[in-house]
Structure 1
Amino acid sequence: MNRSKGYNSIFAFVVVLLLIVVFIEYGKGFISNNSGAYSTTSFAEDIKAGKVAYATIMPNAETPTGAVKVNFNDGTEEVTFYTTDVTVIEKLLTDNGIKHEVEDVPSDNILITGIIPVIVGLVVMVFIFTMFTNMQASGSGNNRMMNFGKSRARMSSSEDNKIRLDDVAGLKEEKEQLSEIIEFLKDPEKFTRVGARIPKGVLLEGAPGTGKTLLARAVAGEAGVPFFIISGSDFVEMFVGVGASRVRDLFAEAKKNAPCIIFIDEIDAVARRRGTGMGGGHDEREQTLNQMLVEMDGFGVNEGIIVMAATNRVDILDPAILRPGRFDRKITVTRPDIGEREAILKVHARNKPLADDVDLKTVAQTTAGFTGADLENLLNESAILAATSDRKFITQSDINSSFTKIGIGTEKHSKIVSDKEKKITAYHETGHAILMHVLPDVGPVHTISVIPTGLGAAGYTMPLPDKDDMFLSRNRMLEDIMVSLGGRIAEEIIFGDITTGASSDIRKATQEARSMVTKYGMSSNIGVINYDENEEDVFIGYDISHKKNHSELIAGEIDKEVKAIIDKCYAKAKEIILQYEDVLHSSAKLLVEKEKIGRKEFEELFEGKAISEEFELEI
């Protein structure tokens, strides 16, 4: 009803304005004729007195009547007056022999010059007025112009959130730690009766893609409570105070929907360490963090608001937000092991038809280091490949091709490779494969290929580990260095020359040898002292005056130890490859013919050859 009255008022206002425009346009001549000092009578008198020298008649000028411009004999200023009948003026001039001319001036179209501009202007004004009125009435957080300081968190109700802990494969210990929070949200009195306080905040730390957001959503789904999700970057704007306002609004909305869960993804975007000397105390990020600290410390035991946050850089967070009372519990979400990877693959394969030859256990073995997001992407790429091949099911070949595409790059079968380059690549990759097969801690070989990939590699050798290592032994790291050097050694043995193809292998071997000396204390000469200078650990601004933690003398000793490790690994690896030189030739020949061979074909080349189960390299 009120809205109808408003529209009627606007319509009446438009009509009144239109009437005013019409009156001004059509009444201009009438006003001019009755208010001017010079008129037709004055003009007739000046003609009789001989004062008029020349006249210009302008029909339809300014008004629907006409105008006359008069020039006088005595040189006085010309005069223009309006008349209702230009024919009378023209006859008067002709009868008295006065020179004159008729200047045809087309009449203005009042619709174009008067009414339409007014209508367009009014429509624009009404549109802007209506838009602002609707925005103010709605109060929605999406209307940024009127609600700039409102929270941008998206809320999922318990009915909308269908994710449960069963949908999160693996992460057994992580789910057990979160089960208490689920129980508290379902029955808070059970804890408050004995004076227990549930953690106000839970910080999920882990590599990207390990399932931190999925875990938080599953907790809300299991507890059947609303779930607010927002990114840390959504708080921060260029205007100081906006982020703090959004934090207040977020917690105010959460209190209205308690019990509930607030999930802040990538909290390091707003909760970085303060006092770094960058941005000052009035920096927008610091103001937002200060407000978050206040809000997290401000609600009581029974309010039922639990803040969950995710980050992969807990080392750069401000200590104030990590203390008990804010984020009481810190849960590390690790990369899945081989069993968890198989379970994750089964979850993501639920709606994907698999062929009989698909072995998810083998896929789990070959995907060491993959996160849940990586595994989901692997099966999705496999499904896309099957669809483009017009098949209704996913084969093991699709998964293998997708794994190569994700980890190494798409195989470029169309790339023209000379016979010489293919032969060099075959010996290079076989050098890696022989060491991978012979050395006890780094094998076995899964696939060897001389097909170029999209990442610039001329070929690749893929291992198939049967277990995930929690830590690396000194002997295992030495074996890794030897495998990395195997390709360069094979080139040197067969061709008596070396190529640039081993550059990435050399870099990897050098980095691993340096870590053994500076980070893991595996050098007897350097000792059990950490000399690592990993720049990723330096928080810019907080440790901007970082200095070397050792002298130049120690730096020289470190370089000598790194070189000694590389040299001894190179010599031992060369000795092993020379021992199996016949396998080197036969495998390279097979690769040139087939371009790709698997584990079974490669291991058949070692039939009748004894493989030592023990290996020890003195460094």
Structure 2
Amino acid sequence: MLDEDPNAQRNNRRAPEPQFNWKGVVLLGASALIIAWAFFLNQGGGMSDPPIDYMKFKELVVQNKVLSSTKNPLYLVENPSKREQYIQGSYDNGAKADGKPDIREFTTPVNIAYQKEEIAELLKDKKDPDGNALTLTPRYFSDPTGMIFMTLLPILILVGLFLLIRQQMKMAGRGAMSFGKSRAKMLNQDRNKITFKDVAGCDEAKEEVWELVEFLKDPKKFQRLGGKIPKGILMVGSPGTGKTLLAKAIAGEADVPFFSISGSDFVEMFVGVGASRVRDMFEQGKKNAPCLIFIDEIDAVGRHRGHGMGGGHDEREQTLNAMLVEMDGFDTQEGVIIIAATNRPDVLDPALLRPGRFDRQVTVSLPDVKGREEILRVHAKRVKMSEAADLNKIARGTPGFSGAELANIINEAALLAARRNLKAIGTPELEEARDKVRWGRERRSLALSEKEKENTAYHEAGHAILIEVLEHTDPLHKVTIIPRGPSLGSTMWLPEEDKFTHRKSELLDDLVVAMGGRVAEEIQFGDVTNGAMGDIRQATNIARSMVCAWGMSDKLGMVEYGEGESAVFLARDLGRSRNYSGATAQKIDEEVKLFIDEAYNKARALLLQHKDKLDAIAHALLEYETLDGSHIREIMETGRIQNPPQSPKPPTPPPVQNAPAERPVNSQEDDDGGLPGGVIGVPA
């Protein structure tokens, strides 16, 4: 006889938890019936007659219309169960058309404690139409059954709530109601199955996690040699690189249950609920083993312990402690594997990252040019793409793009082709979508004066000339004076290949290019504007990094000044002080200014040397508004454009308005661009 698996025996002995609390529903229904019964029992003795106010009653008494006889008595009613006090009786409203008296009943709410003497004085010596003296007959309503139920009702409600909470605590195991239940959602693989074919651009990461798929398919392959699969895998990468998609692909390839939950779902306003949800989540995983549990944005609960500000008890720390205990307590032979994702690994608690919990860290980096082309082809399968569309060209022109941004390019291109009534998406639509995603949409409707257009044209022409003249710059892509995104004009460049390091000569040329716009304005107009705000910020960041982080200053040497450029974790970094003296800080400022001043002087010398080209490019921009890199090179070589672009079409007139839109007083910041490929522009 074959021996049964001990794990199977343990699972068979475990009684299934009820999915629906029938006892709680019955208890709530009984409570509702008791409340309704008490309410209806207490309905007797109310003011059934049409009520009239006290002033109207007083007027009827004065006019001797109120009746007070054996047939029509006048009552002073008190109903303590309903907290009502009123005068009930009838009055003579005159004769009807047939001559019979018109007798009408009434009720008048009163307050006996305050109006007793006033009512007695009012009725003194008053008579009804038949000459009978007005006499109030006390009448008292007593409802002992309703009074008993109304007295016991709060007690019954409290007992019912206590029993309900107790039942829910037994059912969930922790927490009131269902607060302690995990919010992890199981992915239905039959409806939406994702495999590694749907994931592109991260081959190394797929190789790292392929072992998980093999283990979930054939655990004995690894157990035979004594190896243990990692208990947890932490995926680290920039936003949009595909961490969640990769986790779903693992579940799709292994064809196992996949539970997905966000780190913020553990945090609740009630103390202890987060830890309760952690325990319940791991119990669900053990019942559905083998399975995968994916925790997105784990930094919401996995931050450093002991760095809370304020000194109070931190609910997040209790949740993290429960997660640490659960991850260290369950065995990987049960087939439960934890996958977590974050883009802030620097703030995670070290105990969470040690071997035995998250044994392996998988870096999902930004895709290279080959990976970008693969990602574009994956997303292009879902739209109608033209055969002439060049995805390789788009991949080469999108350095630094994440998978989410590449998917957005395909989507924007599809929307653009639909607006143009095209049958398929072509390369022009893809390029326009790329420019829109990276640099913003064109704002042709923005009204600019001729003076501002001329200033913008010379500003962008200064950048363009320096990109073409200098040796260590990336190829010029496009120059435009059409407002795009937050800027009034833009000079765009794209590298020919992916860059992972930057030489000092390249950075110095980037500083010179950044100075080109301000220098061109000064040379042409003898005055400057605030249009170089973004250029100044970009140049300052590059120069300070060269001095403080990259060791490119001959005077200060290869020493790092500061704590790097990582994101600040306030509770941890608040008390830190800088690691250099005030004298060194002064030297740093001097070196940064020296780099920028030298770049400014070099840019001025080059633009004065090519003043005729500066004028030609500026005039061409004023005429055509947008010039490609090939047009700029033609002007630099021959002094004019050999193959001019099409004349710009006038923008669609906006709806008629009462007054033209005013420009904002405060300038908005433009895109700072970047080293791998960017934009320099005049802020709007």
- Taking structure 2 as the reference length, the TM-score comes to 0.71
- Shift in Å, 1:306: 0.8
Counterpart CA distance in 2 for 1:5 and 1:583 is 88
Counterpart check, 1:100 vs 2:133: yes
Letter in 2 for 1:247: V
Q: Secondary structure at the match of 2:571?
A: coil
- Shift in Å, 1:237: 1.2
- Shift in Å, 1:369: 1.4
- Shift in Å, 1:532: 2.8
Match of 2:68?
A: 56
The equivalent position to 1:255 in structure 2, one of 286, 289, 292, is: 286
Q: Secondary structure at the match of 1:100?
A: coil
Letter in 2 for 1:238: M
Q: Secondary structure at the match of 1:229?
A: strand
Residues 186, 356 of structure 1: alpha-carbon distance in 2 compared, 3 angstrom cutoff: closer
Counterpart CA distance in 2 for 1:15 and 1:207 is 59
Counterpart check, 1:293 vs 2:324: yes
The equivalent position to 1:351 in structure 2, one of 374, 377, 382, is: 382
Match of 1:81?
A: none
Residues 59, 585 of structure 1: alpha-carbon distance in 2 compared, 3 angstrom cutoff: same
- Shift in Å, 1:247: 0.1
Unaligned stretches of 5+ residues in structure 2: 1-21, 49-65, 79-87, 92-115, 118-126, 137-145, 640-684
- Shift in Å, 1:279: 5.4
Partners of 1:157 and 1:225 within 8 A in 2: no
Counterpart check, 1:303 vs 2:334: yes
Instruction: Describe how 1:535-574 pairs up with structure 2 within 5 A.
Output: 536-574=566-604
- Shift in Å, 1:7: 12
* 241-250 or 173-182: bigger deviation: 173-182
Letter in 2 for 1:56: S
The equivalent position to 2:551 in structure 1, one of 521, 527, 544, is: 521
Counterpart CA distance in 2 for 1:269 and 1:13 is 46
Counterpart check, 1:481 vs 2:511: yes
Counterpart CA distance in 2 for 1:211 and 1:599 is 33
The equivalent position to 1:394 in structure 2, one of 407, 412, 425, is: 425
Instruction: Describe how 1:118-157 pairs up with structure 2 within 5 A.
Output: 146-157=177-188
Residues 404, 558 of structure 1: alpha-carbon distance in 2 compared, 3 angstrom cutoff: same
Counterpart check, 1:384 vs 2:398: no
Unaligned stretches of 5+ residues in structure 1: 29-53, 69-76, 79-89, 104-113, 610-619
Counterpart CA distance in 2 for 1:545 and 1:250 is 37
Counterpart CA distance in 2 for 1:15 and 1:370 is 64
The equivalent position to 1:445 in structure 2, one of 469, 476, 489, is: 476
Match of 1:38?
A: none
Match of 1:83?
A: none
Counting matched residue pairs gives 535
Q: Secondary structure at the match of 1:202?
A: strand
- Shift in Å, 1:445: 1.2
Instruction: Describe how 1:203-602 pairs up with structure 2 within 5 A.
Output: 203-278=234-309, 280=311, 282-355=313-386, 358-455=389-486, 457-534=487-564, 536-602=566-632
Partners of 2:307 and 2:572 within 8 A in 1: yes
Partners of 2:413 and 2:429 within 8 A in 1: yes
Counterpart CA distance in 1 for 2:489 and 2:26 is 77
Q: Secondary structure at the match of 1:310?
A: strand
* 255-264 or 414-423: bigger deviation: 414-423
Partners of 1:515 and 1:532 within 8 A in 2: no
Counterpart CA distance in 2 for 1:598 and 1:470 is 26
Counterpart CA distance in 1 for 2:446 and 2:558 is 49
Counterpart CA distance in 2 for 1:414 and 1:66 is 79
Partners of 2:230 and 2:359 within 8 A in 1: yes
Match of 1:177?
A: 208
Counterpart CA distance in 1 for 2:29 and 2:606 is 95
Letter in 1 for 2:596: I
Residues 140, 583 of structure 1: alpha-carbon distance in 2 compared, 3 angstrom cutoff: farther
Q: Secondary structure at the match of 1:308?
A: strand
- Shift in Å, 1:252: 0.3
Counterpart CA distance in 2 for 1:337 and 1:347 is 15
- Shift in Å, 1:229: 0.8
Counterpart CA distance in 1 for 2:182 and 2:604 is 63
Letter in 2 for 1:494: Q
Letter in 1 for 2:229: I
Identity in percent? 49
- Shift in Å, 1:420: 1.9
What is the RMSD computed on CA atoms of the aligned residues? 3.9
Q: CA offsets per residue over residues 331-358 of structure 1, 9 Å max, x none?
A: 1111111221121111111121234553
* 436-445 or 420-429: bigger deviation: 436-445
Counterpart CA distance in 2 for 1:263 and 1:5 is 37
Partners of 1:161 and 1:217 within 8 A in 2: no
Counterpart CA distance in 1 for 2:27 and 2:555 is 89
- Shift in Å, 1:440: 3.5
- Shift in Å, 1:528: 0.5
Residues 200, 9 of structure 1: alpha-carbon distance in 2 compared, 3 angstrom cutoff: closer
Match of 2:195?
A: 164
Letter in 1 for 2:68: T
- Shift in Å, 1:553: 0.9
Partners of 2:308 and 2:314 within 8 A in 1: no
* 588-597 or 431-440: bigger deviation: 431-440
